[in-house]
Each structure stands twice: as structure tokens, then as C-alpha cells.
């Protein structure tokens, strides 16, 4: 078990509507004040920044407390959210308040080596099989505090979430978002990793930032968001980017292992992705869902990151699904 988390800042948790009055709606309905599109990682929210302990050292995270009046009967629940390659907790900014308002707490992590979380210097320590037990320790601490954990992993974070379950983490539900059964198939995103690796090894992180700038990838994004994306890339561990990038091009298909684990422990699963995902094909993710006997949903008007591209539609899937799992959990 880790040490108690340490608050870094104290901001009020925005589980209610902006005027401070709880919305008059069923908890499973869409948020009365849905997240605005366009702010992405700078979307305002009421979570506070905390530090949680892990076997690889302190991890920076956001925690939002659940609106207890909307909570499902039984022990409290927390959604533990894992970001993807070169991502961070900020990728979940548009989701935080709505999840908390539905009676589910939020713990969104920077994985080791991402943005505000320090990490090891060895590339192999960033493979999913190595990070899974690290996150399993965090999940174990949540469980020891009496919370039911709903684990979500986005993209590379999905591979880590899978490894977390395989490491024995006591989760009450698993959501894999825009993630696949194994390595990235051939395509644009894999090619980007092939291009970035030699630049990162020979010229360093600033050259990678310059490469991203020159690509025009950030040109249509809000300037405040661009500033954040540049900052977090510069602050990411080089070994982490290399190790995660290598894993994305070599991770084996461990779906059969995951099927055995979730069946044995009766863990419900959801596979969700943007309908235009350009990383793992939607058909591949649907097949993975079939193998897991998991629920499947595709999010319209979204590609690889529905959490920032269409958060309202994503929440319409996540919130009722998770609340159903929690109710079913109480029924045994």
C-alpha cells in the first residue's frame, strides 16, 4: 500500500452545476451542462491536484470527489483514468465534473514519466507489463480505502490497464478506449513513431517539439492548449517516450489472457472508440470486444480521442454503463 495522497492545490470540486445547484435530472442522463467543445485539455473542472504514491515513486494526479447524492448504493466508486502515449491527466479534463456529478469519483493519473510525474531512466520500465503492476498498486490503495475502482485506459493507457488487470488489480470494471489487442497496425500513427524515434535519440526532445510544430498538427488548436501540449511534451521523460513508443510497435496480443482474468473475477468490460479511430481499426476493436464478451460502443464525430473530440457523446456511454456495473455489483 502507498502513503496517503498529498494535495498540491485546493480547488473546489465541481460536482454540481455552475450555479452551485445540483441539476434536476436522473443520474444516468447526459449532464445538464455538457462540456463545451474546443477547450480540450484546458477545459475547466473542479478536480484538485494530488500526489499518489506508487512503486516507481510519486505520481501526479487529479482527484474529484463524487456527488454523494447521486451515487449508486454501496461502497463509493472511483474511476481511475490512464492516458495514452505522450498524454497526461489533462486529456480527461472535459470528463471530470460530469463523472463526479454522476456519483463516481475520479482519479486521473499522469503515468510514470508523463508530464508532472517523474519516471525511471530505463526504457524497459515503460512497457505495459512493467507499468501494469505499478498501477495495480494504486488501484490496491483505492480498494484499501474502501472504494470500488472502475479502470479506464486510453490508447497506450489501455494496454497498461489490461496489464493492470492481469497483475491482479481489484477492479470492478474495465474500459478500454481507442486501444487494441496488441501493437499498432501499420498506418500513420505507427509511421509517426518510426519517424520520431531517431530524432528523439539523436537530437532530443526539443527537436521533437519542433517537428510537431512544423507538421501543423497543432495549428488549429486553441493557443492555450498548444502551450500545454508543448510543455508536457518537453517535460515527458525521454526514456518513457522511447519505451512506450517501442511497446506500441511490439506489444503482443494478450486478449486471451485478459479473457481468462475477467471471466474468473467476473469483471465487466467496455470497449469504446471514436468511429473514425485512425490508430487501431474500429473493426479490430469490435472483434476484441467480442472475444472479451464486452459491451462495445463507437462515438460519432470522434477519431482517436473522443474524450476531447466529443466528450458529451462519450459520457453518454460511460456514465450509464458504469452505474449499471455498480448496481449489478451490489446484486451479486
pLDDT at 30: 40
Report if residue 240 sits inside a domain: no
Query: How confident is the model at residue 245, as a pLDDT?
Result: 97
Supply the Cα-derived Rg of the chain in whole angstroms. 18
Confidence class for position 331, pLDDT limits 50, 70, 90: confident
Q: Does residue 192 fall inside a structural domain? A: no
Examine the pLDDT at 16 and tell me if it is beyond 70: no
Residue range(s) defining the domain that contains residue 142:
40-182+253-331
Q: Is 36's pLDDT higher than 80?
A: no
Residue 28: pLDDT band (50, 70, 90) is very low
| Residue 209, number of CB atoms within 10 A of its CB | 16
Q: Cβ distance 156 to 248 under 8 Å?
A: yes
Who has greater pLDDT, 332 or 228? 228
CATH number at residue 283: 3.40.50.1820
Sheet with 295-299: list strands edge to edge. Answer: 6-7, 48-52, 59-64, 105-109, 77-82, 148-154, 171-177, 269-274, 295-299
Judge whether residue 15 has pLDDT over 60: no
Largest CA distance in the chain: 57
Tens of pLDDT, residues 162-194: 999 999 999 999 999 999 999 999 999 999 999
In a domain? residue 286: yes
Handedness of CA 219, 222, 223, 229 (dihedral sign): negative
Whether residue 246 is contained in a domain is answered as: no
Residue 287 resides in a domain: yes
pLDDT in tens, 89-120: 999 999 999 999 999 999 999 999 999 999 99
Enclosing H/E stretch for 242: helix 238-248
Residue 232 lies in a domain: no
Residue 9 is predicted with a pLDDT of 37
The CA angle 217-220-226, to the nearest 5 degrees, is 70
- Judge whether 121 and 174 are in contact, CB under 8 Å: no
Cα 288–290–292 angle (5° rounding)? 70
Task: Please state the rounded mean pLDDT for residues 3-21.
Answer: 36
Q: For residue 49, give Cα distances in angstroms to 12, 54, 67, 74.
A: 11, 16, 18, 26
Q: Copy the grid coordinates of residue 259.
A: 479473457
Owner of C-alpha cell 460511460:
318
Nearest Cα to Cα of residue 63 among 2, 115, 138 = 138
- Res. 76: pLDDT tops 70: yes
Average pLDDT value for residue range 23-31: 39
Q: pLDDT (tens digit, 9 = 90+) per residue, 41-57?
A: 999 999 999 999 999 99
**Does residue 226 sit within a domain?**
no
Q: Is pLDDT above 50 for 226?
A: yes
In this predicted structure, the answer to whether residue 212 has a pLDDT above a threshold of 90 is no
Residue pLDDT, tens place only, 136-172? 999 999 999 999 999 999 999 999 999 999 999 999 9
Tens-digit pLDDT profile for residues 243-298: 999 999 999 999 999 999 999 999 999 999 999 999 999 999 999 999 999 999 99
Which ranges of 61-204 does DSSP label H, i.e. alpha helix?
96-101, 128-144, 156-166, 188-203
Domain assignment of residue 243, yes or no: no
- Give, in degrees to the nearest 5, the angle at Cα 8 between 88 and 104: 65
In the chain, the number of structural domains is 1
Amino acid at each position: 500500500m502507498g502513503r496517503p495522497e498529498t494535495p498540491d492545490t485546493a480547488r473546489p470540486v465541481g460536482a454540481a452545476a455552475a450555479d452551485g445547484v445540483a441539476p434536476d435530472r436522473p443520474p444516468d442522463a447526459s449532464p445538464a451542462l455538457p462540456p463545451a467543445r474546443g477547450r480540450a485539455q484546458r477545459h475547466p473542472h473542479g478536480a484538485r491536484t494530488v500526489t499518489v504514491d506508487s512503486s516507481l515513486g510519486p505520481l501526479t494526479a487529479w482527484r474529484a470527489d463524487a456527488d454523494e447524492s447521486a451515487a449508486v448504493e454501496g461502497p463509493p466508486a472511483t474511476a481511475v483514468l490512464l492516458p495514452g502515449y505522450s498524454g497526461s491527466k489533462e486529456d480527461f479534463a472535459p470528463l471530470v465534473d460530469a463523472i463526479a456529478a454522476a456519483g463516481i469519483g475520479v482519479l486521473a493519473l499522469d503515468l510514470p514519466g508523463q508530464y508532472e510525474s517523474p519516471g525511471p531512466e530505463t526504457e524497459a520500465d515503460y512497457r505495459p507489463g512493467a507499468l501494469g503492476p505499478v498501477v495495480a498498486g494504486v488501484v490496491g490503495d483505492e480498494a484499501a480505502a474502501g472504494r470500488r475502482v472502475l479502470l479506464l485506459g486510453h490508447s497506450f493507457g489501455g494496454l497498461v490497464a489490461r496489464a493492470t488487470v492481469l497483475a491482479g488489480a481489484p477492479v470492478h470494471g474495465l474500459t478500454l478506449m481507442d486501444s487494441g489487442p496488441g501493437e499498432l497496425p501499420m498506418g500513420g500513427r505507427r509511421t509517426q513513431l518510426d519517424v520520431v524515434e531517431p530524432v528523439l535519440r539523436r537530437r532530443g526532445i526539443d527537436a521533437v517539439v519542433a517537428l510537431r510544430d512544423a507538421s501543423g498538427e497543432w495549428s488549429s488548436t486553441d493557443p492555450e492548449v498548444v502551450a500545454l501540449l508543448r510543455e508536457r511534451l518537453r517535460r515527458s521523460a525521454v526514456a518513457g517516450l522511447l519505451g512506450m513508443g517501442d511497446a506500441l510497435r511490439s506489444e503482443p496480443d494478450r486478449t486471451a489472457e485478459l479473457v481468462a482474468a475477467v471471466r474468473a473475477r467476473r469483471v465487466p468490460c467496455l470497449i469504446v472508440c471514436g468511429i473514425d479511430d485512425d490508430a487501431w481499426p474500429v473493426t479490430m476493436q469490435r472483434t476484441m470486444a467480442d472475444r472479451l464478451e464486452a459491451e462495445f460502443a463507437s462515438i460519432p464525430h470522434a477519431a482517436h480521442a473522443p474524450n476531447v473530440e466529443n466528450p458529451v457523446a462519450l459520457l453518454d456511454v460511460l456514465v450509464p454503463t458504469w452505474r449499471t456495473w455498480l448496481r449489478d455489483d451490489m446484486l451479486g
